[in-house]
Amino acid sequence: MKGISEDAAALLQGLTYEAIRHPVSKKISGIRDRLTGRSLKVPLITVGTSACGQGAGSLASMHRFGALIREKLPEAVLQETGCLGLCSEEPIAGIQMPGMNRLFFRNVTEANAEKLFRSLILKKKIPEDLLIGQLPESGPAEWKGIPSIDDHPFFRGQTRRIMKNFGILDPFSIEEYLARGGYLALAKALHSMTPSEVCGEIEAGGLRGRGGAGFLTGVKWKETLSNPSMRKYVICNADEGDPGTYTGRSIIESNPHRVLEGIAIAAYAVGADTAYISIRARCTTSLERLEHAIAEAGACGLTGENILDSGFSLKIHIRKSAGAFVCGEETALIRSLEGRRGMPYPRPPYPSEKGLYEKPTVVDNVETLANVPDIIRNGSGEFASLGTEKSRGTKILTVSGNIRRTGIVEVAMGTPFRTVVEDICGGIPGGKKFKALLLGGPIGSCFPDPLLDTRIDYESIREAGSAMGSGGVVVLDETNCMVNTLEYLLDFIRNESCGKCIPCREGTRHLHEIIARIARGRHTESGNDALLRFKSVIELRNLAEVIRETSLCGLGQNAPLMVLSALRFFREEFEEHVFERHCPAGVCRNLEKPS
Amino acid sequence: MKEESEIISLLKKYQPVRENLIPILLALQEKEGFLSEEILFQTARYLGLSTGKVYGVATFYNQFRFRKKGKWELRLCLGTACHVKGSGKLLEFLRNELGIQPGETTADGLFSLETAACLGVCGFAPVLSVNGTVHSSVTEEKIRNILKKIREGEKA
């Protein structure tokens, strides 16, 4: 094989038909130890440079480290990594000294990078004020008296499976992924399982789609596999349009090969030879890493013709999308890949029967596919042991808004929201009161304090009148106004409604108008306006129910969820707006007369 | 006629099939900064579609723009996290400061103001992207400084 490193070539030897049936050879385990940092000879500095890190200025810190290394210690290694998940403490850097565990530091700005380098690398002294903790078992020896990052409140309550190596491995290095057992699941599937066994294993694990509806992935794959069509497709939905959600982006930026491995296994399982990844053209960091990963996997023979000598071939294409919220819906996404307006079409026929170019198609989102390699490698039992009876495994949530620690959190299904808000993310800063948690973006619903004990699994969330959605969590505190938030969310939905079906197109426009009227002051009204305002408030619930029952796709059906749940839990706040024309949070400034 | 041939040479890098419509429009927009009438005509002719179809697709997606953009593109995120952290007020501030509405460009062609549904950097809300560089946890003060720096840089 041309154009790949010696390490990669050696590690690929471990993926052959014979090799996976034998214990790992000494040579390969030696390379693994070296690449995972267990037998490090020189200091290693890693800087988290996914989009969040870059936003916090991690590129400048990296250049500073680079300059310092050139000047003081040319043998040290500088590496980019993905995101550890603790967004609010970015830029985050890791430093591993030879023979020791890796240490993680927070708030490594340009100035702090210099401080860190001078004190730790040159004087072997740990600057405690920047320390997050040490990564257990990352090196041969522990730092005495330094806490493990697993004891940090942010990481303590989490169960990191997909995110295990986030912020630790270099997303530009297929060698590092291979050294951590990457592509072993693909090798196992290709060399020892039939496609229907792969589907069966995924079904037995109970993996459900992480994009929203929560359909059993294995069942969907089986249906596609059983279709006799010669041409089938796999689509990886990385087109994240949900404000407040960046799960897919962070998985791709932190560990792109994991997604590619999941796609390859999915394609093998359903009998597809072409896969598309739909991703926003604007997500330049993700795109760059994904393109790099696909090229690497191609060079290593892990995509392309006759993968690992198994006779299975797969081409993975990136398809840049131009951004439309409704393209999270699978049928709309298929239309957009065909070069049309991304409007959904009624199901059935489901994509597993008639999808892209009228051929059977599997559409899975990034998080779902990232779960696949572990299930195949470790067996369905291990995956199914986590979570609740009907919702297995873990769920990744992106937590933002008015909360102390923002970031990406992976918890076992069944964990209560309260654990995430209060323990992992540290509650509301500044002594303010928690108001509500918005789950699932604009088409989700709100969870006030009493509902925080709801467990994070498909059934409990449905019982609470909401939908899992893609796992975006935005936290509101008492300074946020529910009416104002609702007005904002409905404006978003109204803009993003594709316009195909009337309940959604006209209904969401009316919903937005009604809420906007509530937040309007007397001084802006004339004639019958005040009467109409009341009349529309009376119609609000009825309208919401009609939209919910008659819309074509998930966008319309779930659009009124937020209105209904806000009315249920924050009725008093609405009434105060409607009757008193007063906003208790002081946000709706149009209500009061301008002085 | 120079511009026209540049469009065509870019078009020829793609197979003339409909599934390439969005990638083509994205590539042309990246090159020219916006989708001109000329681009829409040429693309439609190249793919054998009506200009209306091409325009229909282009207007469906958020990322396409049909007006020339300023030298500095300010894109304020209005995602949920940014909203609860006060991006609404920042938009008002930018409107007043630049004297333009979202989607418009200042008369001197220096700034254009855009909004985004979500830039995906929710952990640092509110965020403002300036020609693709994300500035995190922005305040009126920070934005004022950013604008000042750009203006001074342009004068020098």
Q: Which of B118, B128, B131, B134 is the best residue to mutate to test the A interface, defined by the most A CB atoms within 10 Å of its own CB?
A: B118
pLDDT at B4 (0 to 100): 59
Q: Retrieve residue A82's tokens.
A: 């993905």
DSSP of A484-527: HHHHHHHHHHHHH--SSSHHHHHHHHHHHHHHHHHT--GGG--T
Residue B84 to chain A, least CA–CA distance (Å): 6
pLDDT at B133 (0 to 100): 86
CB contact under 8 Å between A340 and B120, yes or no, is: no
Q: Retrieve residue A26's tokens.
A: 């000494």
Which of A55, A246, A337 lies nearest to residue B136, judging by beta carbons? A55
Which of A246, A341, A402 lies nearest to residue B120, judging by beta carbons? A246
Q: Retrieve residue A263's tokens.
A: 């796609």
In chain B, what's the furthest Cα-to-Cα distance?
Answer: 51
Return the HEC string of A334-378. HHHHCCCCCCCCCCCCCCCCCCHHHCCEEEEEHHHHHHHHHHHHH
Put simply, the chain B residues between 54 and 93 with a CB less than 8 A from any chain A CB are 56-57, 60-64, 78-85, 88
ipTM of the complex: 0.89
Query: Cα–Cα distance between A494 and A486 in angstroms, integer?
Result: 12
Q: Which of A109, A235, A340 is the best residue to mutate to test the B interface, defined by the most B CB atoms within 10 Å of its own CB?
A: A340
Helix ranges (H only) for chain B are: 2-11, 21-32, 37-47, 51-60, 80-84, 87-98, 140-155
- Are A540 and A514 in contact by the 8 Å Cβ rule? The answer is yes
CB contact under 8 Å between A244 and B117, yes or no, is: no
Residue type, A595: S
Residues of chain A with Cβ-Cβ distance to B66 below 8 Å are none
> Above 90 in pLDDT, residue B13?
yes
Query: Exposure string (b/e) for A351-361, b if CB count within 10 Å is 16 or more?
Result: bbbbbbeebbb
Query: Cα–Cα distance between A405 and A133 in angstroms, integer?
Result: 16
Contact residues for B41 (Cβ-Cβ < 8 A; gap 6+): B51
Q: Is B48 on the interface with A (CB under 8 A)?
A: no
pLDDT at A486 (0 to 100): 93
Query: Cα–Cα distance between A551 and A559 in angstroms, integer?
Result: 9
CB contact under 8 Å between A323 and B81, yes or no, is: no
- Identify the H or E element spanning B108: none
- Are B29 and B59 in contact by the 8 Å Cβ rule? The answer is no
Sign of the CA dihedral with A433 first, then A245, A285, and B92 last: negative
Query: Cα–Cα distance between A253 and A85 in angstroms, integer?
Result: 12
Which of B60, B80, B120 lies nearest to residue A324, judging by beta carbons? B60
> Which chain B residue lies closest to A499 (C-alpha atoms)?
B60
- Are A583 and A481 in contact by the 8 Å Cβ rule? The answer is yes
Residue type, A137: E
Put simply, the chain A residues between 426 and 445 with a CB less than 8 A from any chain B CB are 438, 441-442
Contact residues for A342 (Cβ-Cβ < 8 A; gap 6+): A324, A326, A327, A332, A333, A335, A336, A498, B60, B61
Counts for chain A of helices (H) and strands (E), in that order: 24, 14
Residue A594's Cβ-side half-sphere holds a number of Cα atoms within 13 Å equal to 4
Residues of chain A with Cβ-Cβ distance to B136 below 8 Å are 55-56
> Above 80 in pLDDT, residue B113?
yes
Residue A400 to chain B, least CA–CA distance (Å): 5
Q: Retrieve residue A436's tokens.
A: 């509500």
Which of A244, A480, A485 lies nearest to residue B118, judging by beta carbons? A244
Which of A87, A323, A339 lies nearest to residue B21, judging by beta carbons? A339
Which of A54, A283, A401 lies nearest to residue B84, judging by beta carbons? A401
Query: Cα–Cα distance between B29 and B63 in angstroms, integer?
Result: 9
CB contact under 8 Å between B134 and A55, yes or no, is: yes
CB contact under 8 Å between A320 and B135, yes or no, is: no
Coil, helix or strand at residue B30: helix
pLDDT at B2 (0 to 100): 53
CB contact under 8 Å between A324 and B83, yes or no, is: no
Average pLDDT, chain B: 90
C-alpha distances in Å from residue A520, one per residue of A524, A580, A590, B96: 7, 12, 6, 22
Tell me the sheet residues that pair with A361: A233
Residues of chain B with Cβ-Cβ distance to A485 below 8 Å are 80, 83-84
Query: Cα–Cα distance between A68 and A43 in angstroms, integer?
Result: 13
Query: Cα–Cα distance between A189 and A266 in angstroms, integer?
Result: 10
Query: Cα–Cα distance between A252 and A366 in angstroms, integer?
Result: 8
Q: Which of A329, A341, A335 is nearest to A356 (CA)?
A: A335
Coil, helix or strand at residue A172: coil
Put simply, the chain A residues between 65 and 94 with a CB less than 8 A from any chain B CB are 87-88, 90
Which of A54, A241, A246 lies nearest to residue B117, judging by beta carbons? A241
Residue B122 to chain A, least CA–CA distance (Å): 6
- From first to last of the 595 residues of chain A, give the pLDDT tens digit: 567 899 999 999 999 999 989 888 899 999 998 888 888 889 999 999 998 888 889 999 999 999 999 999 999 999 999 999 999 999 999 999 999 999 999 999 999 999 999 999 888 899 999 999 999 988 889 999 999 999 999 999 999 999 999 999 999 999 999 999 999 999 999 999 999 999 999 999 999 999 777 899 999 999 999 999 999 999 999 988 788 888 999 999 999 999 999 999 999 999 999 999 999 988 889 999 999 999 999 999 999 999 999 999 999 999 999 888 898 899 999 999 999 999 999 989 999 999 999 999 999 999 999 999 999 999 999 999 999 999 999 999 999 999 999 999 999 999 999 999 999 999 999 999 999 999 988 888 999 999 999 999 999 999 988 888 888 999 999 999 999 999 999 999 999 999 999 999 999 999 999 999 999 888 888 899 999 999 999 999 999 999 999 999 989 999 999 999 999 999 999 999 999 999 999 898 888 776 6
Residues of chain B with Cβ-Cβ distance to A442 below 8 Å are 80
Cβ-based burial of B18 (10 A; exposed 0-12, middle 13-18, buried ≥19): middle
Contact residues for A208 (Cβ-Cβ < 8 A; gap 6+): A214, A215, A216, A217, A391, A392, A458
Residues of chain B with Cβ-Cβ distance to A244 below 8 Å are 79-81, 118, 122
Query: Cα–Cα distance between B156 and A336 in angstroms, integer?
Result: 45
Query: What does the angle CA A318 – CA A324 – CA A325 come to, to the nearest 5 degrees?
Result: 110
